[in-house]
Structure formats: structure tokens, C-alpha cells
Chain A
Amino acid sequence: MESRFRVLFLVLPMIALTLSGCAATKSLFGRGDKSAPPPAELPQGQVIEPEVERRKVKEPKIDTEDFEIGAFVGVLSIEDFGSDFVYGARIAYHVTEGFFVEGTAGQTKAGLTSFEILSGGAPLLSDSDRQYTYYNLNLGYNILPGEVFIGEGRAYNNALYLIGGLGSTRFAGDDRFTVNFGVGYRFLFNDSVAFHFDFRDHLYDIDLLGEEKTTHNLEAHVGVTMFF
């Protein structure tokens, strides 16, 4: 304990020392050279001052469309608790033509377990504890990009992607560390609107029914996204 503090307080002055010695920190504290060059003198004997007005060229910026935002609806099957309607939103950033990162959040409501239906007894969970919300942060890879044809005259870009990541699920009154992976299909209606078909498996540990076990919660959804 004490030694850890000693390390902490030793590291502090060390960093301060490195910072102060570091040339790059000059600009941090506003001590960099800022003196402007002296104004150019007019050449002697010049009578007419040339009035060349420079045409200002304002370069239009290129619109980057690396982000994708959208919503989805589908079915989520909660292990032991039946399947129900799920809806949510997603945002993705395309880092390269292959890789993208994605954040997803969704919500559904758990049904009754078979035991609850058969026994007709007291429910295992209160209504609010049946709310199932999740978020996850994923890394995806477009494994099969390409074109699909509808009829003779229409071609659409599409991609099959693998995706997986980490997140958290709130269900039965607790947040649970959740791993998810799956496969998705992106169909680009045009260069900025896409349709998604996704299959995911959400895995987390739960000890609600007596013993701790890993549950698989399968989700299938369709979504629409916009690139911007």
C-alpha cells in the first residue's frame, strides 16, 4: 500500500520533469516563437505599386461518408424466456473498406419461462425486471463485398460481414457482461442508404435459475442505415 503510494508520488515529479525538458511542450505553454517576419520593403524607384488582386479560390471540401447510422427491428430469443420483438439503433464508422466499428443498442421484453406457464405460480421476475436492454461495441469485417443483380438492368452493391464485440445486457435487475458475434448482410439501395439483415448471438452468464450458466440469446433483425 505504502510502496504503491511512493511509486505514485515518484512518478509524478518524474513526469513533470520530462514535460519541462521536452521541447514539444513549448507550444503547450505558449512559449513558441511567434514573431512575424519583417514587412518586405518596396524596391527603390518603383513608381507604380502593382495592384494584383489575388483571386480567392475557396476549395470546396469533400464530403466524407464514413459514418453509418440507422435503426433496426427484429426478434430476440432470450434463453428460457421465449422470443420477443426487439428494436434498436446502430452507428458505425468505416475505418477501411474492410473494417468498421459499430455500436448497437437494443431493447426487448422477456416472456414467461415454461415453468412459469405450467406451474401457474408466482412469476420469477417483476414486470420491470423483464425489460431486456443491451448495448455492444463491435468490430466488423466485410468478408464478401460485391454486386448483386436484380433483373438485367439493375446492380446493387452489397457485403456479407462478420461482426463481434463486447457489451453489457441489463436483464433481471442486473447488468451482465455480454459477448456477441454474428454475421450480417448489407444491401446498398444506393450509395447512401443501406438495408441490413443481421444474425447475432449474445452470450452472458446468469444464475437466475439456481446455478450459474452461460446463455445464448439469438437475435435476428432487419435494419435501415444512412451513410453520412
Chain B
Amino acid sequence: MSERNITTILSTSRSIKSAFLTLLVVLTQAISAGVVQADEYKTVAVADPYLEMRTGPGRGYPIFHIIDRGETVQVLAQRTDWYKVRGPDGKEGWVDRAQMEQTLQPDGETTRFAQANQQDFTDAKWEAGLVAGDFGGANIISVYGGYSLNPNVSIEVWGSQILGNFSNGWMGSVNVVHETWPDWRISPFFTLGTGVIHTSPKSTIIQGEDRTDQIAHVGAGFRVYATRRFVLRAEYKSYVVFTSRDDNEEVEEWKAGFAFFF
């Protein structure tokens, strides 16, 4: 094994250890924050004949308590489409969004509990996703984060790991994505971007050396609104790798995956 491999692995193990420690710190802070922050909650009044409280944040959990019209509840937390509320008698339970929508704010207005829908799919500012597929015969796993400048144009930052039979590598790129019909449920897009690719041959391959090259790509694909915050995504990209050799390399990539917006 080469020296390089040894050092990388050592550093990986060290980074995991430090991540572990950071996690512990975050956990302890989260616990203490949970204890301290108990001051102000959103308060709504029940306008329906009654509000049903369930024992858990899911449609199957039993209803164990109801709160009558006119009484107020405090909204303690939200998990997906469920709200944890505290009634006037101190009982705590989970209420679904449809019922929370029927409650009134202190000023008498109906409460808005925004639910992600197809309009948000068009308008949402942030998106993150995971896609995987084929990169010129190698496997590729990518994560990306995107920010919409407006419904049509967004900027995405991608990080990918490439795992092939003969070499491995990673790739980072910045893309501009243009959606011509962002309000369609199946929304086609075009993308253009640039970045760097790093490849290193597998340890069983004797020849070859590590390379870092610049890349540029064009591509096209579809974003499909699935449900709630979920988006399905499929795309094709054509890469040009600007190598230091006589010829540039061309790589075709096919990927599919899912994303969610927020």
C-alpha cells in the first residue's frame, strides 16, 4: 500500500472521531436547550366543535383526549404534518394539520399552517437531494443543494463520489439550472456548470497516478413533484474533462434520485 492511502485512512478515522465528539456536544446542548426554552408558545383557540388529541404523530395513533370549542391550546412542536399541543388542563397530545387549520389565532383570524404543495415546489427557495447513477461506466453517488434565484433559475452545488472498477474519485461542481416551465408537475430543466474532478486509480492497479482536472458540463433532466416536500429527479449530463494530455476526455452521466425542498 502506498503511503498516501495510509495517511488518508488515518485522517478519515480521526475525522470520524471528531465528528463523534461534536455530535456529543450537540446532543448535550440540545438537551439543555430543551430544558431552558419553555417560555413562549403559539396559542390558538379551538373553533371546531372539538379538537382531537392523539398519543402520537401519526394517523393510526388512538385519540385519547378532546378539547372543546372555545378553549385554547399551546402549540409546542411540529413533526411532519402533526402538531404537539398542550390543552388548558395540561394534557399534551398530537393533532393533525387539517384540524389545526380550523383553529383561530388570538386576533380571531383563522390560523395558517402552511402545507407544502405543488405551488411550493415551484416557489421554494432551497432544495437538497440525493441522486445516483452511472458516470462513464462507474457508479456515482451525488448530493446537491440548490438555491432558487427565481422560479426559473437556480444555482446548485454538487458533491459526488465516483466508484469505478479501476479508479475512484470525487467531483465538485457548481451549476446553473434553468426551468422553462417551473409550474408543471413534471418540470424539464437544462443545466450548465463547471467544477473539478479528482481521480485516483485503485490500489490493485499498479500504474496510474492521481489527477485533478477541471470539468465543464451541459445537461438536461426532469424534476417531478411527488408529494409534500418530495421531488423525484432524473438527469443526463455530458462532461468534458480538460486533461493535461493531448485530448480532452468526454464522459456521459445518467442519474436518478430524490430531493426535498424547504
Contacts and interface: CB of A to CB of B under 8 A. Distances in A.
A167 B23 contact: no
B192 interface: yes
A24 interface: yes
Contacts of A227: 79
B168 interface: yes
Interface string A1-14: 10011011001100
A18 interface: yes
B234 interface: no
A43 interface: no
A94 B146 CA distance: 19
Interface stretch (B7-15, B45-53, B65-73, B207-215): B7-15
A112 interface: no
A191 B13 contact: no
Contacts of A82: none
Contacts of B26: 69
Interface in A47-81: 57, 59-66, 69-71
Nearest to A87: B20
Given A15-B178, A69-B26, A126-B1, A173 B79 contact: no
Contacts of B41: 60
B150 A8 contact: no
B20 A157 contact: no
A228 B30 CA distance: 8
Contacts of A182: none
B61 A157 contact: yes
Given A62-B75, A63-B77, A95 B229 contact: yes
Contact of B152 (A25, A59, A62): A25
Interface in B81-115: 81-84, 105-107
Which among A1, A57, A69, A191 has the highest number of chain B CB atoms within 10 Å?
A: A191
Contacts of A228: 30
Interface of A: 1, 4-5, 7-8, 11-12, 15, 18-19, 22, 24-25, 27-28, 57, 59-66, 69-71, 87-89, 93-97, 99, 101, 105, 107, 126, 128-129, 131, 133, 137, 139, 142, 145-147, 155, 157, 166-168, 170, 172-177, 188, 191-192, 207, 226-228
8 tightest A-B CB contacts, nearest first = A177-B163, A173-B203, A177-B139, A157-B56, A60-B40, A128-B6, A24-B150, A64-B78
